[in-house]
Every structure is written in structure tokens, then in C-alpha cells.
Amino acid sequence: MKSINLKENQFIQFHQKISFKFDGVKYFGYKGDTIASALLRNNVNLVGRSFKYHRPRGIYTCGIEEPNALVQIISEYSEPNTRATIKKIYEGMEIESQNRWPSLENDFGSINNLFSPIFTAGFYYKTFMGPHKKFWKNLYEPLIRRAAGLGKPPKDFKGISNHIHHNVDITIIGGGLNGLLAAKSFINSNYDVLLIDFEEQLGGIINNSNKISSIDNKEPKDWLKETIQEIEDSKNIKILKNTLVTTYNYINHLIAIEDRFVGSKPIEGKVNSTLHKIRTGHTILCNGHIERFLSFQNNDLPGIMLSSSFEKYMCRYGLAPSKEPVIFSNNSNSNSLVYSLIKAGLKPKAYIDSRSGEEIEPNLFDLIRKNDVPLYTNSQIKGAFGNKKIEKILVEDSSGALNEIKCDCLCLSGGINPDVHLFTQSKGLLDWDEKDLTYKPSKPFQPTITLGSASGQFNFDNLNSDINEKLKTFKVKKLDVKLELNTNAKYNIEKLWEVSPQKKSLWAKSFIDLQNDVTTKDIRQAITEGFDRIEHLKRYTTNSMGTDQGKISSINALGIVSDLLDKKVNEVGTTIYRPPYAPLSFSAIAGRNCYEFYDPERKSPIHNWHLKNGAIFEDVGQWKRPWYFQINKDESMHDAVQRESKNVRENAGILDGSTLGKIEIKGEDALEFMNLIYTNSFTKMKQGSARYALMLGEDGMVKDDGIICKISDQHFIATTTTGGAATVLGCMEEYAQTEWPNLKVFMNSITEQYATFNISGPKTREIMKKAFPNINFSNEEFPFMTFQFHEFNGVPIRILRASFTGELGYEIYIPSNSAPKIWDNIQSVGKEFGLAPYGTEAMHLLRAEKGYIIVGQDTDGSITPIDLGLSWMIGKSKKDFLGKRSLTRSDTIREDRKQLVGIIPSNKTDKLEEGQHIILDKEIKSPVPMLGHITSCYYSPTLGHDFALAVIKNGHSMIGTKAYASTSSMGTTGVDIVKPVFYDEGNKRLVS
């Protein structure tokens, strides 16, 4: 295909040369060129290899519907699957073709084309079945992954995207003739209007074809300029250009992506796309139509192009891809291409129409006659032939005779479809138009209006009345636009979906989906095999499942299927068009919610101290908690945790517990409410005392735990696990509002209002005395599980005597702003007693030695308090509490439930691991009955060996017996099942 430059226009400047590279070769294009138009200008017609058969493919269209010309932009972080037909070139752009190896010209994968008779519909389902499960993982999947697919994923993620929200009355999608007229109606009205167009220049068909000769007696381009100016001057209308609406959600919620670097290289660190989230009162769809292709043998050869696309290259890019293309059509839409060619001083090599001479528009007839264009009416193309490019076609004329025509370009038109994707995404109903042979929008589901060809109005004669009628509800001024055309006003089409090949052959291919390499033969085979429902057929053949969603071909497939099944197209139905309309990158969707902004980070008031003191952090929910503290860079985690744990047992340690959830519960009926929420009974509890409490789900399973402080019957403070705070508060709110609205009770989170320090260890009392000299910490004055309010240097504090480590311990609650000062003070007075900070890992180790559970680690939503051996915490005399009835369900009273036990290795030097299965036999012979698994496991510096907590079937009655823990190397370790308490069973250290 030899292209020729036509005249410059406002979209393309021939004096502004741009150089770019395609597959390593340097070419020149002009400012305004897309990759496709620039390649056509350089007579590069082979641009990619197809998905399955690796067939040579060229540029088929001039827009977003492109199925073939997908390229990888090397100079933009290797962005794959970019449509060459819309991406504009810039100086220094580097582009590569996709899905070929070693090169586009000599592609090894094209051998698939030879084997194509076996790559039929359902090939993957039928072939990669056996003989062994491992074949899929080790052989088939890696092979398919290498051979199939389009581009390669980009190496670095660098794109930056902003999200912008809009709230408007009216959104007009598409700034073509109808979109502009609709916008014009709203000029200076009281409506907030958003006009969105995918292209840089508004105008649509006025720019893309020579169909319209004048508007209001003006040159179309002059009218366009004036109208755009009027709209831009109107204060109530905002225009978004280079913006593609990809998604139409319920309720009138649109997603649109704006390219901020059209025709230039994205600058690193700058926002390169904007995602617009639009909430609109009404949506006016003016997004036009898409031309469809036709199926015949080798309808995928480079050099074959849609006829309206050819015309768009002429009008928009000043470029005729070929000097003498053959045109093959079954409708009136391609008339204007003939007109455009002749106007440009070119001539079609032949005009072939499947319609009869009487059907063909008289003015087209005249044009063809006058210019001596060879005309074939009642004729069809049986096939196109050539090596990596079209060289000749075979035409069957009205007499049935075959004519060979040599050509380098073939323009196709199989009719036009309203672009119904967005309309169906909005859940609008479609209806088949038997005369225009396409699905058209019928009933909208949302406040959606369709105008122009998007609504199926392919004729221009009732342009004014249609817009005036549909915009009536807005009471805007009526339009009276005078339109004159260069070609016929009436759309006419004759049914034609497919031309059968001249010679039957296993290798003859007529494509129905170019991107996914689906042939019409695949459709036939699928139907023969019983996949005659359109949704089944789509999945089985993968028809219209590519990134283009079969924009130029899916209706053709419905036509072919309806003929095969001898049903009406309406009875066949359509498949669902799913969002997005065209692919959009993950970086656009992620917007600024990535890296440090992906999820909020919550930090305790002491965070800066931790940073300065060698803390290594762990994420607990959104919180950053010190995991352990490194005293020097060489200290390993194991050494640090052992040191911290030992120090708590021998001296004293301090933990920043500020992240623990804290909920304040107040109200006349607070006591009754707490009795209903937690398993424990708080009725007899003294004011100023505290209690360890469990919260269950209605299914009886442990959901959270914490310490409840009773200030009075009307006032409680509950702590929750760090990760469970929001859920517990939510649960309390839910029950207070929905189940017990009669209870007068209110609750609120005070997690961030108070910092919490947990100090524990044998020397704690000495440290507390020194830090808070006015408080009596004696066992008599301040017994275990009580709390007191005090004032320290003007700061109100609450001290609770409780412990999660098994040592004497206090928890200090301080308003967050005053916390760092008091923390520093405790550090300095504690020094002489060996006080050192410890992190969550040492805390976990210490609590496990005492057999204290961690909800979510030792429980998994299937463990009851009884399974944990915590029956004593259940207020049995209480009539009701969350999940009470479930504790006596047949399933929860089973004896072989998984129960919490302790595990130690029989040989003390053996190691254990979290997640190991506990089994009965030393030898592993499958199937291995599994008793349960280890939930927590540590090396205890106090015991001098590994120990673990585990949940195992019937565990409570197995205490004192032996079992085995399976190892990752298929071996076993002998273990003793023991009580889940490894340290100070009598709690002497806690209470003294």
C-alpha cells in the first residue's frame, strides 16, 4: 500500500516534522499524526502479529475501535496494548510491535497458522486436560503464557493520576454534530453542563468526513469554529477534551479518563492522566456510531481497512493510505468515501456493492459513471490474497463470474452500529432494527437521552425535530439548523454478513474477531457442538472477548448466528457490553491512593521516640507498632526479642499500648447493655474494678477480648484488640440501635484521645513509686484488676493494675498530648531498675508463656470460649448475651471440637513452627488424619526451649499424652500435649 500526502489542514502541519522509532527503525511524521497515520505515511503496513495464529496484521481503522494495530510504547515505561490509531506521536517516541519473535517480518509463532486446523473453538478446553494435573502447571501454562497474549506488562509503574469529582445537571458525551447542537441548546441556561469529547478537536463527523457540505449556509468548518466559541463562552458549560467516558454506572455515575499528554511525552513526576468521576442529573449520549467490517476469506490481510477510516485519514491527517483503493460495501455509508477520493483527485480502483443497481443511490451512480470507476453491483468479494499484504481480490459479479482485481488497498463497509456500549452499561434496553440491521437503544433505564447516530438516527433529515423533541423536558430554546449534504441523506443497507470462500480448505480463514483470531468456522463449530446460546458461544469461541470487545464485529457475529439458527437477531440477543468501554490503566484507577497514601498510617503519640530508639515496626491494621527495638545494628530479631522478654521477667519492661482500642460506654442502662454485649457479668463487679472480658458473635464464636473498667453502673471503659476496635464499636452501635433501642446507652471511640503505657516486671512497683510519688502502689491500696484516677502535674491520668505478661503490671492511660512527656519521665526514672522498652513480638512471647490468647491468632472465628478453656468467663446466670444460645447448639457442645492446648517438643532441643499440623502417627502415610495445628510458637528464654499453643480436636482430654508435629520436610517431631500455661500457673507474680 503506497500512501500519498494530501493538503495540510488545521489538524496536521506538514512543516512540523517529528521523528520516532518503530521496531528500531527511524521514521518521520508530522505534528498531529497518530502512530497509525505516521506509519501509513511511511508505507509501513505490517504493524503486528495476531493473538493466536500470529498472522500478519495491519491498520484496520482510524479510531478507538482498532482491533489489530496494538503497540508497545517503549518510551513510556513500555506501556503495552496501546492503540496506534489514537496515540499521537511525539519527538523521540519509541514504539515496538507486539506478539512476534524474533521479528515482525519473520515471526516464529506464525507456524501456528499452519497448525490452525487444530486451534479451533474450545481448543484450550479440549486439549490441556491431561494426562496429569502437573502438566498444566509445568508445561501448558508456561507455554500458553509465552505464546498467547498481546503486549508485555510494563516494567516500572510510574504513571501519576489525579481523581476529580464533578456534580452536574447534564453531561453530554460526544462533541460531534449532535453533541454540539445539544450543548448549543443549553448555552446560558440554568443547567450545569459538562461536554466531553474523546478527541482534541470537537466536531466528530464534520472533521472526519465530507458528508456535510454546509450548515446554516456556512462552510461546516466555519460553523464549527463559531459554535465551539459560543459554547466555550457560555459560563454554564465546561468542556473536557481528550477525555474518554469508559463507564456508565448506576445512578448516573460516569467515569472518564483524560489524557493530559496528548502528542507529547509524559513528564516524569507530573500528572499524566485525570480520572473524572461524574455524578450527573441527565446523560445525553451523542457518542455516534461505529462502522463494522465484513467476513470473507483473508479479511485480515494488511491493506484492508474500514472505508470511513480511510476517509478519516484523508480529512483529519491529510493522508490517503492508498492512491487507488478498491471499495466493497453493502450500504450507503461509504458513498462519501467515493466523493472524498474524487474531490482529492484520486479514484477508486473499483467500487463493489452487494446491492443491486436500483438500490444504489443515484448520485453515487452518477459520480461513479462520470469518473469511469469500474462498478460491480450485485457483487461480492470472495477473498483477498497476498503475502503479508493485500495483492489481489477475487470478485464474484452479478453473473456469477469471477474477476481478479490487483490492488494494494481494500476499503470495507458492512454497515454502521450506534455505539451502544455506554447505553447498555447504563442498563438501557436495545431493540433490533430490521431495516437498518443493527441494535438500537430503545428503553433507557436511567435518565439517559440518545441523540444522532448514537440513537440509531442514521439520516440527517429529522436532525432538528429529534433534538427538539428529546430535549423538550429541559425547556430550552428550539433549534433550527439548516444542513446540506454532499451525499445521500437516507441510510440504506442490504443484509450481508459473510461471503463464503471460493475453495473449501482447512486453512481458509474468514475472521469474525480480528483481535482474538476467531473465524466464522469457529462459530459454526461451536453451534454444532451445542453452544447455541450467545453467552455460551462467546466464551467457547472467545468471540468479542478482546480488549476491543469486538467493536467492529460483534453485531456481525449475531447476524451469522441468527442465520445459522434460523432465528431473528432479537431472539438471539446480545452479550453484555461491560465497562470499561476501552482499557484504562491501573495507575489511573489507583490515582493518588498508592505508596504511602494507599492506606492511612496510624501512629501512636510516642512514635517519634520509637524512631529514635531503634524500633523496627510491624503493621497492625493501619497502626505502626514497634515490633522490637534494636540496641545496635547487628542485633538480630531473635536476640532482641529474647533480650526484651528476659528483661521483663527479671527487671521491668514498657510497651506502648496506645493502639489498643478504647471505647467509652455511658448511660442509664450501661450496665445492662454491657451484660448483653460481653459474656461476663458486670453486675456484682465493684466500682473501680476491672475484668477481662470476651465478646462473641451470635454464632457463639470468640470475636474480641479486652479489659472492662467499671467506673459506675452508668459508665464503663472497654479496651479492644488493636485490629478489632472499629468492629467492636460497630457491633455495639448496631445492637444498641437495632435490638435494644429501649436501652439508654451511648458509646464512642476514645482510642486516639488516650495513650496507653503497659509497664510490667518484678521491679515495676519501684518504678511506679518513683514516677508517681503521690500514689500508693501497695498491694492492699492498689490490688490486681483495679484502677484509679489521679492527677499528675496537672494531667488527669488513669492507672489500671493489669498484666498481659504474667508479671506485676500497670497500664497508664494519659491524654495523648501529654503522653510523650510522661513517657520520657518514666524512661529516666526506670533506668536504674533496668527498665527497657519491648515490642509486640516480646509481648506475644510473654503472654503465650502464660497461655493468654490473641484473638485472630489463636482463634479463627470457629473457636468458642469453652474451646479455649475459658468457661469461667461465661456469666451463666445471665438470661441473655450475644451468642449465648449458640454455646448450647449441638455443634458447639461436640466433644471433638478443636480446643486450646499447650505443646512442647518431647526432645527439648527440637524446634517447632507456627502452622505445623499435629498428628497421631510418627510415620506420614496419606491420608493423614489431622488433629489441629500450632497457632503460636516461640523459644522461651525462661524455659530454655520451644513451646507452642495449638488448637487440636478433643484437646482438653488429650493433655498429658504424646503426639507429633509434621514438618515441612515430610518428617515429624515428637511433642507433648500439655496445659496451655508454661509460667507461674498459680498467678503468684500477678497478684503479689
Partner 1 sequence: MLIINCPYCGPRDQSEFSNGGEAHVKRPDGSKEIGDREWGEYVFIRANPKGLFYERWVHTHGCRKWFNCVRDTSTDEILVTYKLYEKKPNLNNFKSVVKTPSGEPEVGSGNFTVEK
Q: Which is nearer to partner 1, 469 or 535 (CB)?
A: 535
> What pairs with residue 102 in β-bridges?
107
Of residues 689 through 718, those in contact with partner 1 by CB under 8 A are 698-699
Shortest separation between residue 326's beta carbon and partner 1, angstroms: 35
Question: Which CB atom, from 293 or from 881, has the smaller least distance to partner 1?
Answer: 881
Cell numbers found for residue 980: 496451655
Q: Are 278 and 256 in contact (CB under 8 A)?
A: yes
Assess contact for 813 and 754: CB atoms under 8 A. yes
Q: Which of 44, 534, 615, 863 binds partner 1 (CB under 8 A)?
A: 534
| Contact pick of 26, 369, 443, 495 for partner 1 (by CB under 8 A) | 443
What's the rounded Cα separation, in Å, for the pair 52 and 69? 15
725 near partner 1, rule: CB under 8 A: no
Closest to partner 1 by CB, 281 or 688: 281
Q: Give the residue with the Cβ less far from partner 1, 131 or 600.
A: 600
Q: Which of 122, 573, 834, 875 binds partner 1 (CB under 8 A)?
A: 573
Nearest 5°: CA angle at 722, between 721 and 727? Answer: 70
Q: CB under 8 A: which stretch of 92-100, 616-624, 647-655, 876-884 binds partner 1?
A: 876-884
Q: How far apart are CA 143 and CA 139, in angstroms?
A: 6
739 near partner 1, rule: CB under 8 A:
yes
Q: Output 7 or 879, the one with its CB closest to partner 1.
A: 879
Minimum Å distance from CB 509 to partner 1? 27
Q: For residue 68, give the C-alpha cell.
A: 489489530
d(CA 407, CA 325): 7
> Cα separations (Å) of 866 from 289, 551, 870, 937, 948?
67, 61, 6, 22, 19
**Cα gap 504→570, rounded to integer Å:** 31
By CB under 8 A, tell whether 890 contacts partner 1.
yes
27 binds partner 1 (CB under 8 A): no
What is the 3-state secondary structure of 842-867? HHHHHHHHCCCCCCCCCCCCCCCCCC
Task: Tell the smallest beta-carbon distance from residue 786 to partner 1 (Å).
Answer: 31
SS3 872: helix
Using CB under 8 A as the binding rule, whether residue 434 contacts partner 1 is answered as no
Residues 464-493 that bind partner 1 (CB under 8 A): none
> By C-alpha distance, which of 750, 743, 744 is closest to 719?
750
Q: Checking DSSP bridges between strand 416-418 and strand 237-240, what pairing results, if any?
A: unpaired
- The nearest distance, CB 424 to partner 1, in angstroms, is 6
State which residue, 102 or 741, has the beta carbon closest to partner 1.
741
Of 225-264, binders to partner 1 (CB under 8 A) are: 249-251, 253
Stretch that binds partner 1, among 2-10, 420-428, 497-505, 781-789 (CB under 8 A): 420-428
Tell me, what DSSP letter sits at residue 533? Answer: S
**Interface segment toward partner 1; rule CB under 8 A; list 289-297, 717-725, 875-883, 950-958:** 875-883
Q: Per rule CB under 8 A, is residue 599 in the interface with partner 1?
A: no
Q: What angle do CA 362, 379, 527 make, to 5 degrees?
A: 125
- Placement of cell 445525553 in the chain: 284
Rounded distance, CA 783 to CA 67, Å? 77
Does residue 683 touch partner 1 according to CB under 8 A? no
Contact 663, 747 (CB under 8 A): yes
Binding flag, residue 915, partner 1 (CB under 8 A)? no
Q: Tell me the H-state helices in 371-452.
A: 421-425
Q: How far apart are CA 318 and CA 32, in angstroms?
A: 10
Report, in Å, the least distance between residue 733 CB and partner 1: 6
* Residue numbers 93-152 binding partner 1 by CB under 8 A: none
Q: Which of residues 738 and 969 has its CB atom nearest to partner 1 in the complex? A: 738
Options 22-30, 144-152, 533-541, 915-923: segment touching partner 1 (CB under 8 A): 533-541
Which backbone phi and psi does 466 adopt, to 5 degrees?
-65, -50
Give the E-state strand segments of 660-753 in sequence order. 661-666, 689-696, 702-712, 715-720, 746-749
The interface with partner 1 within residues 552-571 (CB under 8 A) comprises 570-571
**Which of 573, 583 has the CB closer to partner 1?**
573
Tell which one of 377, 403, 502, 886 touches partner 1 (CB under 8 A).
886
Cite the DSSP H helix spans in 428-581. 463-470, 520-528, 534-541, 554-565, 569-572
Give exposure, 293-303, as e/b (b: 16+ Cβ within 10 Å): bbbbbbbbbbb
- Rounded CA-CA distance 36/34 in Å is 5
Q: How far is the CB of 685 from partner 1 (least distance, A)?
A: 21
Nearer to partner 1, 112 or 892 (CB): 892
Interface with partner 1, residue 622, by CB under 8 A: no
Residue in the structure block whose three cell numbers are 505516521: 38
Q: Which of 521, 553, 422 is nearest to 68 (CA)?
A: 553
Buried b (16+ CB within 10 A) or exposed e, 418-436: bbbbbbbbbebebebbeeb
Kindly tell me which residue out of 217, 387, 737, 778 binds partner 1, with binding defined by CB under 8 A: 737
**Minimum CB distance to partner 1, residue 518 (Å):** 18
CB of 347 to partner 1, least distance (A): 42
Q: How far is the CB of 39 from partner 1 (least distance, A)?
A: 35
Q: Does 879 bind partner 1 (CB under 8 A)?
A: yes
Q: Candidates 23-31, 437-445, 630-638, 976-984 — which segment interacts with partner 1 by CB under 8 A?
A: 437-445
Interface region with partner 1, contact rule CB under 8 A, candidates 99-107, 390-398, 573-581, 952-960: 573-581
| By the rule CB under 8 A, 581 interacts with partner 1 | no
Cell of 973: 517431631
Note whether 673 binds partner 1 by CB under 8 A: no
Per CB under 8 A, 276 contacts partner 1:
no
Closer of 428 and 869 to partner 1 (Cβ): 428
Q: Are 61 and 403 in contact (CB under 8 A)?
A: no
Spatial contact of 698 and 886, defined as CB atoms under 8 Å apart? yes
Among 208, 379, 492, 575, binds partner 1 (CB under 8 A): 575
Least distance (Å) between residue 829 CB and partner 1: 42
Residue showing cell 488513669? 798
What is the per-residue binding string for partner 1 in 741-780, x denoting contact by CB under 8 A? Answer: x---------------------------------------
Q: Which residue in the set 2, 495, 889, 894 belongs to the binding site for partner 1 (CB under 8 A)?
A: 889
- Choose the binding region for partner 1 from 368-376, 394-402, 464-472, 574-582 (rule: CB under 8 A): 574-582
* Contact yes or no for 705/681 (Cβ under 8 A): no
Applying CB under 8 A, the site for partner 1 has a residue count of 41
Phi, psi dihedral angles at 178 (to 5 degrees): -70, -40
Tell me the pairing of strands 416-418 and 289-291.
Answer: antiparallel
Closest CA relative to residue 351, chosen from 363, 336, 338, 333? 338
Nearer to partner 1, 533 or 953 (CB): 533
Position 217 contacts partner 1 (CB under 8 A): no
Task: Choose the binding region for partner 1 from 50-58, 532-540, 635-643, 858-866 (rule: CB under 8 A).
Answer: 532-540
Candidate list 158, 163, 218, 279; residue touching partner 1; CB under 8 A = 279
CA–CA dist 183, 193 (Å, integer): 8
Helix crossing, 335-343 with 362-370: angle to 10°? 30
> By the criterion CB under 8 A, which residues form the site for partner 1?
249-251, 253, 279, 424, 427-430, 439, 443, 445, 533-535, 570-577, 698-699, 730, 733-734, 737-739, 741, 879-881, 884-886, 889-890
